[in-house]
Amino acid sequence: MASNTKLNRIPPEYQPISMWGYFGYGILFQIPIIGWIFLIIFALSAGNINLRNFARSQFCLMIIWLVLFLISATSGLMVSMLHGVFPGTF
């Protein structure tokens, strides 16, 4: 009962998100295109500070994965091109 009254005194923008809330938002943000749009919207304008910070962390993670993908794709392309220029060396 005491914890319920403490939660009622917290302003709405600071209300904690439940574990299932984080789980659901994590799944939502991983949906291609639509989830990424929601991710950007929540990262920029969510009313809840916790949700906004979670969306920003997921956005940073998405950017890191994108950079790693581009590096691996580019290096694979470079090896492929070098294999065409210098056949039999790789």
Please state the domain count of the chain.
1
- Do the domain assignments include residue 8? no
Full domain range(s) for residue 64: 17-85
Asked if 51 contacts 32 with a C-beta cutoff of 8 angstroms, the reply is no
Q: What is the pLDDT of residues 51-72, one digit of tens each?
A: 999 999 999 999 999 999 999 9
- Do the domain assignments include residue 73? yes
- Do the domain assignments include residue 1? no
- Do the domain assignments include residue 66? yes
- Do the domain assignments include residue 71? yes
Asked if 51 contacts 58 with a C-beta cutoff of 8 angstroms, the reply is no
E strand spans, the chain: none
Quote the tokens at residue 48: 């809840």
Q: What is the pLDDT of residues 13-40, one digit of tens each?
A: 889 999 999 999 999 999 999 999 999 9
Q: What is the pLDDT of residues 69-89, one digit of tens each?
A: 999 988 888 887 777 777 766
Quote the tokens at residue 37: 């749009």
The pTM of this model reads 0.76
- Do the domain assignments include residue 10? no
- Do the domain assignments include residue 12? no
| Residue 1 pLDDT > 60 | no
